[in-house]
């Protein structure tokens, strides 16, 4: 290869590198859609605000991306020259300008809050905004949520719930599909659980009778009175012992808040095997003294 060819190659190589460097200068690649940046608003107009985020060109924040709440005066939600966080929602245009949002950043933070609340089994207050056949729609932290009818305490007159504030727990929080499914019954159960303890005497109403036991509603929660925990004596048919709607007293023998399970017993209230079956009224009338006796016996 002669020296002229070598020179020509070097020139070509040098030219292409310079060209690449110039191309890089035209685009500020450090700013990308989805990135959170700091900036200061330096000019407001009717359509939005111009923000200095340290790029070669100023960034633009459209008025409807300034806040989650309705904006009348931009200066109220966007103080001039104050360092704030913004989310880039549109990549650079031909002039190198990116589009920003404070609103989308707030929404992102709100999803974070709800995910943390779900992980901590916390409750949140929501406002009912609409009703349909399946349940009610609600608003929580500016996000739209749904409570299925089966997870409402009041399931008949849903229209009466419009505008009301309800305390709810979380069934599903999914920011990718924008699904926010909530439960009022879960929150009620969580609240009630904090008041319960093993060994406590509770009173409730029988809501269902099955071959393996009966379900008792206690403060909005369903507890199981298993057939083996009813009496010290064998029971052939529970239908002959209990009726739906009947009030009974029982002692809590197990609590599992994670699974929402409560197990109760009337067996521990008996003075002798079969007493409950023979004289339920007497056992129920003196249930408190019997429960205390059972607790003292367990502590020995």
Whether 229 and 253 have beta carbons less than 8 Å apart is answered as: yes
Q: Whole-angstrom Cα distance, residue 265 to residue 237?
A: 17
Q: What is the CATH number of domain 118-189?
A: 2.40.50.140
User: In the prediction, which pLDDT does 255 show?
Assistant: 84
Do the domains spanning 118-189 and 195-299 agree at the CATH topology level?
yes
- Reported as type and span, the H/E element at residue 136 is strand 135-140
Q: Where are the domains of the chain?
A: 36-101, 118-189, 195-299
Tally helices (H) and strands (E) across the chain.
7, 15
- Token pair, residue 49, equals 């605000």
Q: Is the pLDDT of residue 9 over 90?
A: no
User: In the prediction, which pLDDT does 173 show?
Assistant: 94
CA distance to 40, 211, 224, 225, 247, per residue, from 214 (Å)? 65, 8, 6, 5, 12
Strand pairing class (48-52; 59-62): antiparallel
Q: Is the pLDDT of residue 12 over 50?
A: no
Q: Give the alpha-carbon dihedral of 14, 16, 18, 24, to 10 degrees.
A: -150
Question: pLDDT for 228-258, tens place per residue?
Answer: 999 999 998 999 999 999 999 999 999 876 6
Kindly state the average pLDDT of the residues 115-143: 91
CA distance to 41, 98, 101, 183, 245, per residue, from 82 (Å)? 7, 19, 16, 40, 64
Q: Whole-angstrom Cα distance, residue 247 to residue 78?
A: 60
Q: φ and ψ at 171, to 5 degrees? A: -100, -40
pLDDT tier, 11 (very low <50, low <70, confident <90, very high otherwise): very low
Q: Is the pLDDT of residue 160 over 50?
A: yes
User: In the prediction, which pLDDT does 72 show?
Assistant: 84
CATH class for the region spanning 36-101: mainly beta
Question: pLDDT for 162-219, tens place per residue?
Answer: 999 998 999 999 999 999 999 988 877 766 677 788 899 999 999 899 999 999 988 7
Whether 255 and 197 have beta carbons less than 8 Å apart is answered as: yes
Rg of the chain taking only CA atoms, in angstroms: 33
Whether 236 and 274 have beta carbons less than 8 Å apart is answered as: no
> What predicted TM-score, i.e. pTM, was given to this entire model?
0.57
User: In the prediction, which pLDDT does 259 show?
Assistant: 66
pLDDT tier, 145 (very low <50, low <70, confident <90, very high otherwise): very high
Distance of CA 74 to the CA centre of its chain: 32
Q: What is the CATH number of domain 195-299?
A: 2.40.50.140
Q: Whole-angstrom Cα distance, residue 79 to residue 82?
A: 6
User: In the prediction, which pLDDT does 10 show?
Assistant: 43
Q: Whole-angstrom Cα distance, residue 166 to residue 123?
A: 10
Local structure of 244: helix, strand or coil: coil
User: In the prediction, which pLDDT does 282 show?
Assistant: 95
């Amino acid at each position: 290869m002669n020296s002229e060819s070598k020179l020509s190659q070097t020139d070509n190589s040098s030219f292409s590198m310079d060209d690449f460097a110039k191309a890089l200068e035209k685009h500020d690649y450090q700013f990308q859609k989805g990135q959170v940046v700091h900036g200061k608003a330096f000019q407001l107009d009717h359509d939005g605000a111009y923000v200095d985020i340290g790029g070669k060109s100023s960034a633009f924040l459209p008025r409807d991306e300034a806040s989650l709440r309705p904006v009348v005066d931009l200066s109220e939600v966007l103080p001039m020259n104050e360092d704030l966080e913004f989310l880039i929602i549109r990549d650079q245009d031909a002039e190198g300008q990116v589009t920003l949002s404070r609103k989308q950043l707030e929404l992102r933070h709100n999803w974070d809050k709800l995910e943390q609340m779900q992980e901590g089994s916390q409750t949140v207050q929501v406002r009912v905004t609409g009703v349909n056949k399946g349940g009610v729609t609600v608003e929580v932290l500016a996000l739209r949520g749904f409570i299925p009818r089966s997870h409402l305490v009041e399931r008949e007159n849903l229209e009466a719930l419009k505008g009301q504030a309800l305390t709810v727990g979380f069934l599903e929080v999914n920011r990718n599909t924008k699904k926010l499914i909530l439960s009022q019954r879960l929150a009620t159960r969580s609240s009630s659980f904090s008041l319960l303890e093993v060994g406590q005497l509770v009173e409730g109403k029988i809501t269902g009778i099955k071959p393996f036991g009966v379900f008792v509603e206690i403060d909005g929660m369903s507890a199981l009175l298993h057939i083996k925990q009813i009496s010290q004596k064998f029971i052939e048919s529970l239908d002959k012992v209990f009726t739906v709607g009947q009030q009974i007293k029982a002692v809590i023998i197990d609590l599992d808040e994670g699974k929402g399970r409560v197990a109760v017993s009337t067996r521990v209230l008996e003075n002798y095997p079969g007493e409950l079956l023979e004289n339920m009224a007497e056992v129920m009338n003196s249930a408190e003294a019997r429960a205390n006796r059972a607790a003292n016996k367990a502590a020995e």
